[in-house]
Every structure is written in C-alpha cells, then in structure tokens.
Structure 1
Amino acid sequence: MERRKFLGALSLAGVAGALSPKELLAGGPQQPAVSAPAGNDREYWWQLLYKIADPVVANLAAGTLVKNMPVEKSPTFDKRSAHVTYLEAVGRTYAGIAPWLALTDDVGREGEYRQRMRTNAVKGLVACFTPGSADALNFKTDYQPIVDAAYLAQTFLRAPKVLWEPLPADTKTHIITAFKSLRNRKPFNSNWLLFGSLTEAFLLSVGEEPDAERLEKGITKMAEWYKGDGWYGDGPNLAFDYYNSFVIHPMLVDTLAVLARHQPERKKEYDLAVKRMQRYALEQERMISPEGTFPPIGRSITYRTGAFQALSQIALMELLPKGIEPAQVRSALTLVKKNMYGAKGTFGKDNWLNLGFVGHDPQIADYYTSTGSLYMATLSFLPLGLPAGNPFWAAPAAEWSAKKAWAGKNFEKDYHVDY
C-alpha cells in the first residue's frame, strides 16, 4: 500500500558547487512568476510552492536566514523564545517540499527550478546543523523543537535519497544528536506525542536505537483517543479543528510505515491507520465549497492550506477513497490555493508569508504563532511528488463533490464508517 518510491541520489559535488550568494537567494529573475497558463495546474502549483518556500531555503543555503527572515509575532505571543521561529520555518518548509524534490527527472523549466531548490535544500541543512554557523538551529532549549524535529524527520522519510543520503557524515551525526537531545523533554499529552513517535521512528529507520517508550506512546494514545469516522481526539477530547490533518493522520501513518518495515506483524496497524486517513481525506474533499473555500474553524488557521495535508498525502500515496478521482482533488485544491494565495497581503516583502488566513490579519494568529509557524502551508503541495504524467496531473479538470452537489448533479452518497 505504501506508494512512495523515491529514486535517485544527489551528488555532493552538486551541493558543493559554488553558487554565489546572489544566485542562492530568492528574488530577481530567479523567482518564477506564478502565472501558469489556464488549465496547467501543475505549473501553477510548483511555481506557487517555489514562491512560498524559496525565501526559507535559499536564505538558509546562503547563511542569511536569521539575518533576512522577518519575524512577525501574534499580538498574544507568549513568553517562549522567538528564536524557535527559524526552526519552525525550516522543519515545516522542508516537510512540504520533500516529495517534489524527490523527483529527479530534472528536465524543462520545472526541473531546473526543482534542481536548484534541491541543491539549496541540502546546502542549507549542512549550514543549519554546523555548530557556530549564523543559522545554527536550537534544539537544546524550549519545547518547540520537539515539534519541528518531527517535521524534519518527516522530511527525511519522504525524500531519503535526496535530502538524507547526500548529507556529509558529520551533518548526519549532528542531526541524530540533536534529535536524541530532545529526550530530556516530554511531549505534552496531545498530538505532540506523535512528534516524539515520528522522530524516534526516523532514528530507527537510519539504524539508531530508538527510545521505545517515546516511539510507542503516540501510537498507543492515538488508538485510545480514536473517536470514529476518521477522527482522532487531540488528547482525550475531540478538537474540531485541522490537527487531524496538520499532525495526527500523516505522522501516525508515517510512524507505522517505518514500524511495519521493521516488524511485519504491525502491518495491520498501518493498514488500519491508512483506512482511517482515507476516510478523513474523503471528508476533507467534501469540505471544499463550490467556490474553492473551506471553513476557518479551530486553532492554527494561519497555517492556511496546511489544513489539507491529509488529503494531499493520500493523493500522493495514490490511495484516494473510492468515488474520489485524483483530478477532482487537484481541481478543488487549485481553486483553494488561488483564492488564498492570490489575496492581497498574504505575502510580504521578498515573498515572506504574513500572519493571517486570507491576506494579512495578525489578530487571528494564536499565541504560539510567528512567521516561521506559517510554513505549514507547504504541506498541501505533497502531490507534486507525483510525476507530471500521473492521472492526478494529466487527467482533465473535474468537479469535486460540493461543486457537483450544489449544481444539482449526481454525486456520491456519504456514510459514516465503523473502523
């Protein structure tokens, strides 16, 4: 069932190839205009992803992330160190771009930009895990690194051939040491438990001894907190927000995928987790209105289209539920992206994301939100890991469930599930 097959490797010669700081940075003629021809959804998606991610990736590669990244905080921002915002930006951005960078067919204009970002991404990882560098990431203090270590771990699981294997041995050692250093801090009794589980699963995947209790606790608790019909509680209670998509389904499935490879008897757990994510993905597709909008419910709505990570990952895995065609998901998410990222104020100077939902609105940002937090938005771009000839991209545009329903056309009935 696990679809992801990431082939090819990136040579370190390409990473070390001397790109000038000017060439590494976003902006100028290097930044592609988000102006794809009508009907070319893939062109629009990769250009938009590049626009969002390049300020983080290129500045990190150039050693100027801390210098150049603006830090806007919620008006209610708490007493945590604002320095964690840089780790948030890196972890979340990399988790979103990983499947796209894993494609190694670098022909044409898209391939040129993808190759550039892949090279910068690896160079940036080396820089931010080099002790004493200007952009060295902090894992030693605060609790927030528990979160974004997990997104980096998810990055390496999504694109091992191009974002883990090419790293120098000392960089890998620094990353492993940083991840293990988090064991002196316990995740909160919520979706945070999965951050610990996924990080330990990644360590297991690269031959390190995991902390067994930390690895298993997120899995055990999610099984206890399952509420039915594709929804997990965030803790003992149900939270009607998008954390089932931001965190719970994707990280649970990715953790169990690693365990199933090491312990085949656990494949049943993995299969059940996938079935539940498929159900949740079906519900997410139905939440997209005919106009390409979705409900601004719950916490963290400043993460924008990151709310659709679960649907996007199921599409990447080519496991969309029966009755949902890949093209209708593509068409629906394309319109959502155009509505959201085309709004005035969403991007600030040099294309950094601004706090807000549609446009710039710091007042709706939560107390834990700053600029780096917003890069969860990249997590809705996972289907770019499918090649251009895949039906997700190649099939003609299609109407999604709500669009058909509100036009009086035939659409699939919906029923709850018992698993």
Structure 2
Amino acid sequence: MTPEKNCELSPCTGWTRQHWASTADGLLRAVQRYRSPAGARFDLPGPVSANGASADGLEGFARTFLLQGFRVVGEQGRDPTGLLERYAEGLAAGTDPASPERWPRPDELGQAKVEAASIALILQVTRPWLWDELDERVRGRVVDWLSTVVGQPYPPINWVWFRVVVESFLREVGGPWSAAEIEEDLAVHAALRRGGGWYSDGQERAFDHYVGWALHLYPMLWTHWFDVVGSLCPVGTYRTWAADLARYLDDAVHLVGADGSPLLQGRSLVYRFAAAAPFWVGALTGHGGLAPGLVRRVCSGVLRHFTDRGVPDADGLLNLGWHGAWPGMRQAYSGAGSPYWASKGMLGLALPAHHPVWNAVEEPLPSETSDHGRVVSPPGWLVSHRRADGVSIVLNHGTDHAEPGARRSDSALYARLGYSTATVPPLIGSTVADPVDNAVAIVDAEGAATHRTGFERLYAREADGGALAAASRGRVCWVDAREDTTADHGYGRRGAVVEGPVVTVASVLRAGLEVRLVRVDPAGWEEPGAGCFVRMGGWPVASDGEPAARGGPRQRRVSFASAALRSLVSGVRGFTGCGLAAQAGTTPLGAWTAVPWLATDGVPAGEVLAGSVLLDRGGREPVDPAVLVRPDGEGGHEVTVAWPDGEGTTVELPGVP
C-alpha cells in the first residue's frame, strides 16, 4: 500500500522515509521475476548492451544489490525485503568458476570492473550481516573474483574509483591489493579537479551528472565507510573533498527544477534519480552544507518527478528512457540492467529513521522561491531560474565533451548553448547532424549546419546591470560523420571536415532573458558559397500535437508554446528572417519537438548580430532590449545591452588573434 502523505513534515512533496522505503522495496521485488536459477544474474527485459547479455545480467545483480544494501544498512541489519539471502546465493554462483552462471571477471571484461565496485561497496557496509555469515569457501571465491582488478588498467575517468573501492575492500578482508595503484588512482582524481567543487570526468571538458553521482559520491563513501583516512587518504585530502562537496552542492541545488526534474544534460540520463546521490552523501557524511529539510526536499522532489510520471513502469521495472521507455537515450554501454544505477539516488535509505534528514521539515528549492542567477565557472555555465517558471536553465560556454581544437560534430547533450530542467535537445533525427536548437551555425545551400565542438572559452562572469555574461569562440566546421560507427559514449562524431569561419558567441543573461551576440570572422576562410547564412536557434519545446509557430518573418520574432512552455526568439540586430523547425519522435518529452530560429541574409562577416532568446511558462511578450555596438580598435567590439528598465550591461567580443 502507498504510505500516507505527511504535509506537515513534508509540505512540498508530502513524502517521508516510508515512501522511499516503499518505492525501493517495490523495485527490488519486481526484479526477482528475472532472477536466474542460481541467482547470479537478473536478466531483465530490454535491449542488450555492447557488452553482451552476461554482462547485462551481472549489472542487474550488482546495481540492485546496491539498493538492497542501503536498505539493510538503514535498518541496522534488519532485512525488510527478506532478499539478502538470495543475493548471498547469487554471490556464491557468480564467483564460482564452475557455475553456468559465473560472472565475467574484471580482467576479462571492462564492465565487470564497474559492477565489482558496487558488490565490494555493499559487502563492506553489510559485513556483519552478510560477509561474516558467508561460507568460508564462498568468501574465498569472492576474493578471487574481486582480486582480478589488481594490475588491470583503468581509464583515467571516474572508473579509477571502482578499483579504489574494490582494492580497499580486499585490504580490509585480507585479500590482495596494491597501495601503489590506489595512490595512482587518487592522483588521477586530483587531476580531474577543476575548482569550485567541480570535477571533469576526464581531461576533456566533460561536465555532467558524473560529477555528482561518481566523482563526489565515491570519495566521500570511501572515506566514510572504509578505514582509510590518515592512511590511504591523507587528512588534508579528505578535508579538500569535503569542502569540494559543499561547494558543488551549493551550485547543484540550483540545477533542479521546481517540479523535481534534474538538468537534462550529459550522458547516462537513463540513471534518472541517481541525480539525488550527491545530496544524500552530503547528509550521510555531514559535509554537504545544506539544511536537512532542503536535502530531503531536493531528493524527494527528484524521485517524485519520476514516480509521478510513470517510473517505474507498469511491471515495476526501470526501463531505458526518461519518463517512459525511450531507447534513443541509451548509449552503447546501456543494457536492461543499466538504469538500476538509479539505486545511487536512494542512498538516503542508508540513513536510519531517526536521522535529522528524515525528521526536519522540508524547505523549498531555490527554483521555487527566488529569481536567481549565478556563474558556475568551471563548466562555463550561467545558471538562472525564476520563481514564476520553476525551470532552471544553463547557458553553456565551457562544456562540449572535447578539448579545445577538437574537430568533431557537436554532442547534443554537451555542446549546445543551453540546457534546462524542462527541455532536451533532439537526440535522434536530422538535427543531430545539423544542429538547430540552442546553436549558432553557418548553414550552407544544402541545409548542412556547422558544429562548434573544440571552441575556446573566453569568459563567464557577473556583469554590470544585474546581468551575467559568458562568451566563447572557435572555428566552426562542417562534419560528415555518416561513416563513424564507433560506440556512443557521449562524444561527438568524427568524419570528413570542411573548415568554416571563426564564430564568436556571447550570452548576456538577465532575469531569465538571454541576449545572444554573434560575430562571424572570415579570416582564414574562403568566401562563403551562394546560399550560406547564419542561423540562431532557440529552446526545443516538446508537445503532443504538431507544432505551429506564432509570429513570422516580417516581425523577425517567432515563438512556439506548448501547454506548459514557451520558446521565443526575436531578432534585435542583423537578423532578417525567422521560422520554426519541428520534428516528430526526436525526444523523450513529447511526440513533437519545435525550435524557433532566426536567420540572416547571407553571412554578414565582421558584423555583430543580436537576438533575444527566452524559455518560460508563457505570459506577456517580452520587450527586446536595445543593443549598441562600438568597435574597440583591435578588431573586436564593445557591446552594450540597454534593458527596457533603463539598466545597461556592457560586454566585449574580443578580436580574433
């Protein structure tokens, strides 16, 4: 039965710990139908990943084992689902080399390195109730299976934490481990630190949810649940991580919409409410810096966002998608068991019922209570939310899942100029190759658009007039990536490249309205061919019915409004046309997705173009600001945005060196 809401304790969501426990237990019960005979695999329905069915079955075991372990820890050893013994049986079968259900070892398959960490983590935190009760022969086989991580290569991304966790467990139970490898992995983690509490998942500009659900989660769980501080982990390093987590969460809480939606940006979005994990680890360790009532509000809001929208599905399962099943979201490594990394987002169940986070009165989210803007410098983001809309938006001038100078197509989930908690870029269809939404592109006579991946970040800062400003530039290019068949891990695609001009783009953001500035610098680029023009796209809005635009070319303003959202673009300087790009079946949020756009007549090289870009819940038409442009004498421009209320914001578009 569904627990009764408690609107006094939880005035925002009505949810209590009982709701979380009920949801978790329902997920654990539902997967039991797909348990293999000996219990080592959960062979869930759905597509098979590039790793194969055996790896997917292990993934189903390990990721639901996470959730089972959190339940047992939070109940101080009591097993409310009665399933712990079944997981013990699966451990015995999966690590038995003679079993028909034996797991692929970490030295045989890379994905097993990932799942080994979940298994080791839960064995560590449930030791009195599971590990200590296992048959000695089973414990020996588990150690043998886990110890194959020692000496194995790990990519220098969040994966290093899988080896740290496994070898730390082996150390505590007397198995083989390598202090040198843990030291090496901690050095990799340090090299991913970008300041302000932010980490990049690799040397590329890879800022996404992995910052929270991996690069903060594992260090803090490691130092909380393993005896490592002062030995394997220097005290100063631990303090740095704790401070980093608090700084990160201070930003991250602004990236959740009033409806509980996480930011729809970056890879592995099929993990859904795993986005709650860093908030929970802050509460668990006492280093999050957020009030207990706010922690529960944000986490319950994230989980309810999905449970209110058909998650889990009618069979009680987490499928590959966002709200419903939508296979277009999956990466090559995603199989039917992958979505159960959402278990990380239920880490709060490891906190006992008497913990303050379960007993404090909920506090509302920033997106519910304030009009707010902030600069998040490491990823090059401007963040804004307005109380009237409850939507958090990000304007992006520093993230593309690549390094400066890279020549790839734009990854839809990384390289767009904007992301939000209510929209998602088209993930399939023609606009993936020829981006329209939140893109500034040169479009040729055949309709092919340029890509900006590999751009240079110029600045992201607070500006005068109560505004925020960010800018980036780079030589755009056309990329023919039709022959690229490499696995999709979130990167853009490679292919034959035709170089374009240098394009500088700046965003001036105030009270949710963006003034987007563009300059095309033709140096080093041949004259544009006949039919080329500049196109600036707005926000992608999903709808159930076929979209129709409001406005038209003569007004140089066009918008599209669904039942819940409005996307509007308006030409302020240099744009001569506009339109609406609409496609069916390209995102998980609706049957159709529409993007309003502005366009020039030809390519006005060296001129500053300006348009206003807005995503909101509708209402009165905004008044466009005026844009005043002055050459700076060094090939660049000084641009002043004169807002309708009399305030002004001045930014620079530097010349190209």
Q: State the TM bucket, normalised to the shorter chain.
A: 0.7 to 0.9
Specify the SS of the correspondent of 1:217. helix
1:116 counterpart (74, 82, 85): 82
Is it true that 1:352 corresponds to 2:317 in the alignment? yes
Match among 254, 259, 267 for residue 235 of structure 2 = 267
- C-alpha contact (below 8 Å) 2:30/2:315 kept by paired residues: yes
Which residue of the other structure, out of 166, 173, 178, is the alignment partner of 1:206? 173
SS of the equivalent of 2:281 reads: helix
Distance apart, 1:355 and its partner CA: 0.5
Q: Which amino acid aligns with 2:38?
A: G
Q: Is the 2:62–2:116 Cα contact (8 Å) retained in structure 1? A: yes
- Looking at structure 2, the residues matched to 372 and 175 of structure 1 have their Cα atoms a distance apart, in angstroms, of 21
Q: 1:285 aligns with which of 248, 253, 257?
A: 253
Q: Distance in 1 between matches of 2:232 and 2:101?
A: 40
Shift of 1:71: 3.7
Q: Distance in 1 between matches of 2:196 and 2:34?
A: 42
Deviation of residue 304 (structure 1)? 0.7
Q: Is the 8 A contact 1:60 1:124 kept in 2?
A: no
| Contact kept in structure 2, 1:34 and 1:44, CA below 8 Å | yes
Letter in 2 for 1:395: A
In the other structure, the counterpart of 2:368 is 403
Q: Aligned to 1:248, which of 215, 218, 243? A: 215
For normalisation by structure 1, the TM-score amounts to: 0.78
Task: State which of 5, 14, 24 in structure 2 corresponds to 1:49.
Answer: 24
- What's the counterpart of residue 84 of structure 1? 55
> 1:114 offset after TM fit, Å?
1.6
Distance apart, 1:296 and its partner CA = 1.1
Match of 1:367? 332
Name 1:336's counterpart in structure 2. Answer: 302
Distance apart, 1:361 and its partner CA: 0.5
Name the residue aligned to 1:144: 111
Q: Which residue of 2 aligns with 1:295?
A: 263
Whether the 8 Å contact between 2:321 and 2:330 is mirrored in structure 1 is yes
Give the 5 Å matches for 1:316-335.
316-321=284-289, 324-335=290-301
Q: Secondary structure at the match of 2:63?
A: helix
Distance 1:279 1:89, change over 3 A: farther
Identity over the aligned pairs, expressed in percent?
A: 22
Amino acid corresponding to residue 50 of structure 1 in structure 2: D
1:313 matched to 2:254? The reply is no
Unaligned runs of 5+ in 1: 1-32, 409-415
Shift of the 122–36 alpha-carbon distance from structure 1 to 2, 3 Å rule, reads farther
Q: 1:159 to 1:387 in 2, by over 3 A?
A: same
Shift of 1:103: 3.5
1:182 is aligned with what amino acid? V
Task: Call closer, same or farther: CA 1:115–1:54 in 2, change over 3 Å.
Answer: closer
Paired with 1:64 and 1:206, the residues of 2 have a C-alpha distance of 24
* Counterparts of 2:80 and 2:63, CA distance in 1: 18
Residue 126 of structure 1 pairs with residue 92 of structure 2: yes
Deviations 1:61-112 (A, max 9, x none): 8635657532424xxx54x323211121222222233232113468xxxx6x
Conservation of the 8 A alpha-carbon contact between 2:192 and 2:199: yes
Over 3 Å counting, the alpha-carbon distance change for 1:97 and 1:256 in structure 2 is same
C-alpha deviation, 1:259, in angstroms: 6.0
**Paired letter, 1:290:** A
| Residue of structure 1 equivalent to 2:159 | 192
Cα separation, partners in 2 of 1:159 and 1:105, compared to 1, 3 Å: closer
Q: Cα RMSD between the aligned structures? A: 2.7
1:199 shift after superposition: 1.3
Counterpart of 2:338 in structure 1: which amino acid? S
- How far residue 262 of structure 1 moved from its aligned partner, in angstroms, is 6.5
Alpha-carbon distance, 1:36 to partner? 4.1
Q: Does the Cα contact within 8 Å between 2:40 and 2:103 map onto a contact in 1?
A: no
Q: 2:82 aligns to what SS in structure 1?
A: helix
Q: CA deviation at 1:271?
A: 2.0
The equivalent position to 1:181 in structure 2, one of 141, 148, 154, is 148
Letter paired with 2:352: P
TM-score by length of 2: 0.51
Contact 2:147 2:175 in 1 (8 A): no
1:194 Cα deviation (Å)?
1.9
Match of 2:200 among 233, 246, 249: 233
SS of the residue corresponding to residue 293 of structure 1 reads coil
User: Structure 1 residues 40, 298: closer, same or farther in 2, change over 3 A?
Assistant: closer
Q: Structure 1 residues 233 and 337, CA, compared in 2 at 3 Å: closer, same or farther?
A: same
Amino acid at match of 1:124: G
1:95 aligns with 2:95: no
Measured in 2, the distance between the counterparts of 1:145 and 1:265 equals: 25
Distance 2:160 2:299 in 1: 29
CA contact 2:320–2:326 (8 Å) conserved in 1: yes
Q: Quick check: 1:171 aligned with 2:158?
A: no
Matched position secondary structure for 2:208: coil
CA distance in 2, matches of 1:82, 1:119: 24
SS in 2 for 1:227: strand
**Could you tell me which residue of structure 2 aligns to residue 24 of structure 1?**
none
Instruction: Measure, in 1, the Cα distance between the counterparts of 2:339 and 2:92.
Output: 23
1:358-411 deviation per Cα after TM superposition (whole angstroms, max 9, x unaligned): 211111111110111111001111111222122211222221222222549xxx
Q: Distance in 2 between matches of 1:267 and 1:160?
A: 25
Q: Decide whether the 8 Å contact of 1:242 with 1:298 is kept in 2.
A: yes
| Matches of 1:360 and 1:252, distance apart in 2 | 32
Residue in structure 1 matched with residue 188 of structure 2 by the alignment = 221
CA distance in 2, matches of 1:256, 1:384: 19
Give 1 or 2: higher strand fraction: 2
The 8 Å contact of residues 329 and 400 in structure 1, kept in 2 or not, is answered as no
Tell me, in whole angstroms, the C-alpha distance in 2 between the residues paired with 1:62 and 1:114.
23
Q: Do the aligned partners of residues 246 and 105 (structure 1) sit closer, same or farther apart at CA in structure 2, a change above 3 Å counting?
A: closer
Which structure is larger by alpha-carbon Rg, 1 or 2?
2
Which stretches in structure 2 are left out of the alignment for 5+ residues? 7-13, 371-385, 389-460, 462-657
Counterpart residue identity of residue 289, structure 1 = G
CA contact (8 A) 1:71 1:371 kept: yes
State the alpha-carbon separation in 2 of the partners of residues 269 and 83 from structure 1: 38
Letter in 2 for 1:82: A
**8 Å Cα contact 2:44-2:60 kept in structure 1:** no
Q: CA deviation at 1:56?
A: 4.0
- Give per-residue Cα distances to partners, 1:16-54, cap 9 Å, x unaligned: xxxxxxxxxxxxxxxxx4454343421110111112233
